[in-house]
Structure 1
């Protein structure tokens, strides 16, 4: 009888499942702020578009982590109009750089000063009314846009 082969897909899926099982209880932690600090990998998708993914054990974890946490903040190096570099926190999901970001609090601007204390004060502060921070209109279609 031939020796049994190891279950490679199962073995590779285990670290991701274990990480999610470890992280999920933190989602319901009250009166505590939990910070995860990591590194982003820059990759190209199937259409040669630049994308950023977190370096974390198990690809499933990297995909599911943003759904567990309230905030995803990327500290990035930007350049001003004069070409001078500066650091900033990218906080909105829709951003022109494609960085992973998310603000469930509704209190952060798309780009914030890279100061954790002031960022936490802003997250804990009063939320702006939805009409001030959200656009409710549909985008206009250009004349050459076709619908199916």
Structure 2
């Protein structure tokens, strides 16, 4: 078995690993503002939402994809090609070479250790718009639009996109999403990721390592405060997951600090006061 590509325990432990997570929360709580807690020299802001007013002075670099095709191109350049895929398929070596011709040498992206993708909600809208124009979104019999076909294709596309970015083993990746609140039939509050279709929201927690909700907590004996909710079994019912086992249920709303607690190396963030 001398030629079998076994990775030893020492090799695996020596690998550089990145944190993969999703940060969700209501409008206006400061999800995008978390960029101010990250090192601008090693962070790439992938601004899909075009909602960067809160971080207009943040001194880091950004990309602004406007179409689903551009989102896929950026993903294959960040994550590299998947050799298991065939020519013509997204994220294949063929796609990687096509994207490289459109965007340039992906080596320029190597300096970015953290990818901050804002937001997965808007990425889903771009994806659905693209899916509605594909053959799968039309009935074979009548050639009329088929909503189920469009949403089915969207689920496949989004999960493939998220999974490919997640395989950037040595990078930190944070997907930002909007959290919806509704009341179920038993008058209980239920929280869900705001995204078209159900497949992405159901599968996303299994793709990433960390699910963090930025929430405003209203204690019975004090003023409300913002915090990161990090454990599944929290009393408020917020979506959360900590695969590392290093986080407390409630953490300060500082993404840079959270990443250092997860084992990411120390990095200098710009001097900026957190929003009220």
Q: TM-score range by the shorter chain?
A: 0.7 to 0.9
Match of 1:53 among 164, 170, 192: 192
- Work out which structure has the larger RCO, using CA pairs closer than 8 Å and 6 or more positions apart in sequence: 2
Matches within 5 A, 1:98-137: 98-124=237-263
Q: Distance in 2 between matches of 1:3 and 1:104?
A: 47
Deviation for aligned residue 1:4: 4.2
Secondary structure at 1:37's aligned position in 2? strand
Aligned partner of 2:168 in structure 1 is 29
| TM-score, length-scaled by structure 2 | 0.42
Which residue of the partner structure matches residue 225 of structure 2? 86
1:97 aligns with 2:236: yes
Aligned length: 124
Q: CA deviation at 1:81?
A: 4.3
Q: CA deviation at 1:24?
A: 0.8
Q: Deviations over 1:48-105 (max 9, x none)?
A: 3211001123221011100100000001001244330110000000111000000001
Q: Which runs of no fewer than 5 residues in structure 1 stay unpaired?
A: 126-148
Let me know the Cα RMSD of the aligned residues. Answer: 1.8
In structure 2, the residue corresponding to 1:41 is in which secondary structure?
A: strand
Is 1:9 aligned to 2:144, yes or no? no
Match of 2:13 in 1: none
Q: TM-score, normalised by structure 1?
A: 0.76
